[in-house]
Amino acid sequence: MVEVIKPLASLKGRDFLSNLDLSPAEYRAVLDTAHAMKRGAYKGLRPLEGQTLAMIFEKPSLRTRTTFEVAMNQLGGHAVNLTNAEIGLGTREPVRDIALNLERWVEAIMARVYLHSTLEELARYSSKPVINGLSDLLHPVQLLADYQTIEETFPDTRGIKVAYIGDGNNMANAHIQCAVLSGVKLTIATPRGYEPNAIIYMEALKLGADITLTHDPLEAAKGAQVLYTDVWVSMGQEAEASQRRKIKDFAGFQVTPAMLDLIDPDGIFLHCLPAHYGEEVVEEATLHKKSRVFDQAENRLHAQKALLYHLLS
């Protein structure tokens, strides 16, 4: 019988804008709950009966929308999908007014936005929890699923080598924060000029994280237990002419089966999806025997379900 973990009182009603909004103990509790939920615990239980999650999307979504909506349904609650065309964050109505309306109707807000400052404003004015479903700075819910996936192969993440190869974007920043919580040895390989956020990096070092920045993707990949990449061109930037130069700058950073041969024999490959095949990765890598890309996508459901359980139960 799978043990049911009680919701943490310390997390009830809290915002989740970054992975470092969790203490190490809270991070551990959320992941332990996610593992238990995947094994079948909580089946038939409805701890969020009668509760509603408002989901705001400035950016389109497959994984974020589906997994949050299914998670609420499986926990006994309900989700309301709000596209930006309908609510107009900061255009049709001020972000403040949207927050002050939604807090009267729902128990939590999940927002997938362009600017991290939009999330901070929602959280400032809403008395209900605000969850970061993605911003230009961080993607913390993705990292919960990522580390659940990593722990399925490497149950103790302390000291394992994680190599992130690609753009120093919101995913790289979130990996830096999770290095604090997980105890991994993180190497981030980017082209020059594409390094991750310096403030987030320095804060993580002060908190004791083991992080190396490099410009050599092959050296980063050698012996890694986990190889991770993300798109080079983020959603909303595809039409920019400068992206052609950016793709050129990333020559040598594409994940291929040959690069996967460099990692640990038992190592795994992760990509948060969607993939831009022919840019940061080739199809053969996502379908490779070392790939856990689709397990990782599945775990968005379990990890976010665990997060909602602790924030709202």
Verify whether residue 216 is a known catalytic residue.
no
112 assigned ligand-binding residue: yes
Q: 78 catalytic, yes or no?
A: no
- Check if the beta carbon of residue 113 is closer than 8 Å to that of residue 102: no
Catalytic site residue from 112, 116, 271, 310: 112
User: Is 140 annotated for ligand binding?
Assistant: yes
- Asked if residue 178 belongs to a known ligand binding site, the reply is no
From 51, 74, 142, 177, active-site residue = 142
Q: Is 141 annotated as a binding residue?
A: yes
Match 């082209």 to its residue by tokens.
191
Q: Is the dihedral of CA 163, 166, 167, 169 positive or negative?
A: negative
Is 300 flagged in the annotation as binding?
yes
CA atoms of 66 and 60, how far apart (whole Å): 11
Place of tokens 């103790």: 156
230 carries a ligand binding annotation: yes
* Count of CB atoms situated within 10 Å of the CB of 197: 16
Joined tokens for residue 230 = 């993300």
51 is known as an active-site residue? no
Out of 63, 116, 139, 288, the active site residue is 139
Please confirm, yes or no, whether 300 is among the known catalytic residues.
yes
Of the listed 225, 272, 296, 302, which one is catalytic?
A: 272
Question: Is residue 139 among the annotated active site residues?
Answer: yes
170 is an annotated ligand-binding site residue: yes
| Selected catalytic residue, list 230, 292, 302, 310 | 230
Does 234 show up as a binding residue in the annotation? yes
8 A C-beta contact, residue 76 and residue 46:
yes
Strand order in the sheet with 108-112: 78-83, 52-57, 108-112, 130-134
Residues marked as binding for carbamoyl phosphate? 112, 139-142, 272-273, 300
Binding-site residues:
112, 139-142, 170, 230, 234-235, 272-273, 300
Supply the residues annotated as catalytic: 112, 139, 142, 230, 272, 300
